Chain A
């Protein structure tokens, strides 16, 4: 399993990265942890004549929690997220989800930037970022710009990012209330058959805000506004949960593959969402 030959670049700063991207256009691609890109290159499903390793670029990794705002640099790994105490305090759903991604070896290498920029519907971070209403910060030859996670994904492996842009960081407001990341997978280390990210706020006995996003049930992550709305103003009783699940099922569009037929995936999605809502409400 040897990939096609490529030229390897390891710039020390973002100017160096952008220079290679501008010079080579879609012949160039950045490499973060490599745990999505290298398997694709080995299978020769991705051909990258110019590979730009980001490991030496300063300022791309690190987590800051400032007031209620969380910022996570693109090169921060899943294992960094799991080990970060202030993040676990501010946004425990990040840790809960990261622990369910892949296996320990992959989590040492896999980065937030690679996970959200990849555009693979199987990745867990994109749905989570939509649930959190995160902002992605990109940089290109014309400077920085921001785009909302909920507007970023267009189709499988197609995102709003231009070929000459690099993701710098993701940022979001630390959520309050209850949270849950639930994932159904065939075995540990597998991508989701279905996964749900849920954030719920509680005011007295009533749900005052809800955000629900689903993973690997469409060619993009699915933030189901209707599912969240079905819970707001209710006491998250059985009828409200049924309504939320029905609304979610109206928004997803799974396809049949080696994780199962469509009906099974819809069943798994419903189960996972029920569990996630119950756990998030319990914690709210």
Chain B
């Protein structure tokens, strides 16, 4: 067996420390080691985006990163965005606008969308489609996903304006 290395990372605000082989894929670390099963494995070949998490401010397909690369990193998964009692605005919008059917792609979709709205708070429909192009959905036909993200963007902007 290959040599294990000492890994430290922050996941959803919590410090994690463990020993792992460097070749372990981050998605496996999250799901199997840390029991954070929001990020899904859709393809395992860098194409579908179901495994998307935010790492140091970037949307990343966690099936395409070794745990060793994420040593010292700050990781956010869908679990870090909202909880069943207190849904994130995006989660609420997906629920409201039927942004999901089977829901398999949804954690990746919402995690990616959260970063997109950070970068472009008031996107056009085209910007949403372009910014979400790394996430594949087999069910919805995307219309309602786009609608949900635009609705969440409008709500977040309104809340921000009200706060100012």
How far apart are A95's CB and chain B's nearest CB, in angstroms?
A: 14
Are A105 and B22 closer than 8 Å at their CB atoms? no
**A1 / chain B contacts, CB cutoff of 8 Å:** 25, 44-45, 63
CA distance A91 to B14 in the complex (A): 43
**B65 / chain A contacts, CB cutoff of 8 Å:** 34, 38, 109
Are B44 and A5 closer than 8 Å at their CB atoms? no
Task: Given A109-B64, A189-B134, answer yes or no on A8-B5 (Cβ-Cβ < 8 Å).
Answer: yes
Are A38 and B66 closer than 8 Å at their CB atoms? yes
Are A34 and B45 closer than 8 Å at their CB atoms? no
CA distance A257 to B10 in the complex (A): 44
**A138 / chain B contacts, CB cutoff of 8 Å:** none
Are B133 and A189 closer than 8 Å at their CB atoms? yes
- Cβ of A209 within 8 Å of any chain B Cβ, yes or no, is no
Are A104 and B131 closer than 8 Å at their CB atoms? yes
- Cβ of A3 within 8 Å of any chain B Cβ, yes or no, is yes
How far apart are A86's CB and chain B's nearest CB, in angstroms?
A: 19
- Cβ of A184 within 8 Å of any chain B Cβ, yes or no, is no
Are A35 and B46 closer than 8 Å at their CB atoms? yes
CB < 8 Å: which of B21, B58, B68 contacts A53? Answer: B68
How far apart are B2's CB and chain A's nearest CB, in angstroms?
A: 3
CA distance A136 to B103 in the complex (A): 46
CA distance A105 to B59 in the complex (A): 5
**A238 / chain B contacts, CB cutoff of 8 Å:** none
Task: Given A34-B69, A104-B112, A105-B112, answer yes or no on A5-B64 (Cβ-Cβ < 8 Å).
Answer: no
CB < 8 Å: which of B2, B5, B21, B46 contacts A106? Answer: B46
Are B3 and A104 closer than 8 Å at their CB atoms? no
CB < 8 Å: which of B5, B64, B134 contacts A104? Answer: B134
Interface centre among B2, B68, B71 (most CB of A within 10 A): B68
**A31 / chain B contacts, CB cutoff of 8 Å:** 69
Are B3 and A7 closer than 8 Å at their CB atoms? yes
Are B58 and A55 closer than 8 Å at their CB atoms? no
- Cβ of A90 within 8 Å of any chain B Cβ, yes or no, is no
Task: Given A8-B68, A35-B46, A189-B133, answer yes or no on A104-B22 (Cβ-Cβ < 8 Å).
Answer: no
- Cβ of B138 within 8 Å of any chain A Cβ, yes or no, is no
Q: List 5 A-B contacts (CB under 8 A).
A: A31-B69, A51-B22, A102-B134, A104-B112, A189-B134
Chain A residues packing against B (C-beta within 8 Å)? 1-8, 10, 31, 34-35, 38-39, 41-42, 51, 53, 55, 79, 102-106, 108-109, 188-189
Chain B residues packing against A (C-beta within 8 Å)? 1-3, 5, 21-23, 25, 44-47, 49, 52, 58-61, 63-66, 68-69, 71, 112, 116, 130-134
- With A1-B44, A8-B68, A34-B66 known, 6 other A-B pairs at CB within 8 A are A1-B63, A7-B2, A7-B22, A31-B69, A42-B44, A108-B59
